[in-house]
Amino acid sequence: MSDSTAIAHGAHDAPEHGHEEHPAYLRHHFENVEQQADAAGFAMWLFLLTEVMFFGGLFTAYLIYRNWYYPAFVAASHQLSIPLGGLNTLLLITSSFTMAMGVWCAEVRKKSGLVLCLVLTFVLGLGFLGIKTIEYKEKFEKNHVPGSHFSVDSFTHPDLDNPVTAKDQPLALDMARHTEVYFSLYFAMTGMHALHMIIGIAILGYMIFRAQAGAYTAGHVTFVENFGLYWHFVDIVWIFLFPLLYLISRHS
């Protein structure tokens, strides 16, 4: 993810200067701009593959524990709000779209369009985190956060739960205790996802200032393009998290 370090020399990037001339952003160990862009894209994908393995491990753990403690996982997943999760899915998918449009604006050198797309992506990302905060707050209030304050009351006495959870049968205490495993995985997976969002939003903030200075609309789009790959990857993780955590146990 090498950033353009030479906005001031942007005038150099016109190819008609001849063979000796090359854009200031071309590092000397690359033959040409295409090779540099290909290498950067390849490296970004290798990084994303390590991310796939990282989240893949969490997904595998979720799959196995869900099979072991199935009744606990079903009851615990009924604590999540589908409207809030669905709204977050809409926000994230839309932010992925605005990011893709941002990459397009950079490629066709539309500076104001790029800034607008980055700001929209930034705002949608913050909206996602805001809704996630509402969801986490409810978990803290109902003592559903794993740890010494964790309470199984919602699952041993679902009729006293506030708000009453669907028509869940009460769980025996030993099975109800395993809901803590569900919430551990819930917080690990959505928490790591949220951390990736926070990092992405921080980089977006930096990119908005750089884009206003014209850094990405002078031909060197690698940074925006590779950040786009990262943002879309974070979107894909949520595309799997939402059905697996919120939806699949709705009827069990």
In this structure, are residues 102 and 118 in contact, taking their beta carbons and an 8 Å threshold?
yes
Give me the least distance between CB of 37 and other proteins, in Å please: 7
Tokens at 210, concatenated: 């750089």
The torsion region of residue 6 among left (phi > 0), alpha (psi -120 to 50) and beta comes to beta
Whole-number Å distance between alpha carbons of 123 and 207: 14
Can you tell me which of 49, 134, 166, 199 binds other proteins, judged by CB under 8 A?
A: 49
**Which sign does the torsion angle of CA 207, 208, 212, 217 carry?**
positive
Q: How many residues does the chain have?
A: 252
Can you tell me which of 8, 108, 134, 198 binds other proteins, judged by CB under 8 A?
A: 108
Q: Taking CB under 8 A as the criterion, which residues in 62-81 touch other proteins?
A: 63-64, 67
Whole-number Å distance between alpha carbons of 174 and 75: 14
Give me the least distance between CB of 138 and other proteins, in Å please: 20
Residue bearing tokens 């928490």: 191
Query: What backbone phi and psi angles, to 5 degrees, belong to 227?
Result: -65, -40
Tell me if 100 contacts other proteins by CB under 8 A: yes
Can you tell me which of 94, 151, 165, 184 binds other proteins, judged by CB under 8 A?
A: 94
Query: What backbone phi and psi angles, to 5 degrees, belong to 164?
Result: -55, 130
Tell me if 45 contacts other proteins by CB under 8 A: yes
Whole-number Å distance between alpha carbons of 26 and 39: 12
Query: What backbone phi and psi angles, to 5 degrees, belong to 147?
Result: 135, -165
Whole-number Å distance between alpha carbons of 26 and 13: 9
Can you tell me which of 7, 96, 130, 213 binds other proteins, judged by CB under 8 A?
A: 96
Can you tell me which of 21, 86, 140, 206 binds other proteins, judged by CB under 8 A?
A: 86
Can you tell me which of 70, 104, 150, 187 binds other proteins, judged by CB under 8 A?
A: 104
Choice between 90 and 173, CB closer to other proteins: 90
Choice between 158 and 228, CB closer to other proteins: 228
Can you tell me which of 53, 148, 149, 159 binds other proteins, judged by CB under 8 A?
A: 53
Whole-number Å distance between alpha carbons of 181 and 66: 9
Choice between 150 and 239, CB closer to other proteins: 239
Choice between 145 and 230, CB closer to other proteins: 230
Choice between 24 and 244, CB closer to other proteins: 244
Stretch that binds other proteins, among 90-98, 119-127, 128-136, 167-175 (CB under 8 A): 90-98
Beta-carbon count within 10 A of 54 CB: 12
Whole-number Å distance between alpha carbons of 107 and 218: 9
Residues that bind other proteins (CB under 8 A): 32, 34, 37-38, 41-42, 45-46, 48-49, 52-53, 56, 59-60, 63-64, 67, 82, 86, 89-90, 93-94, 96-97, 99-101, 104, 107-108, 228-229, 232-233, 235-236, 239-240, 242-244, 246-248, 250-252
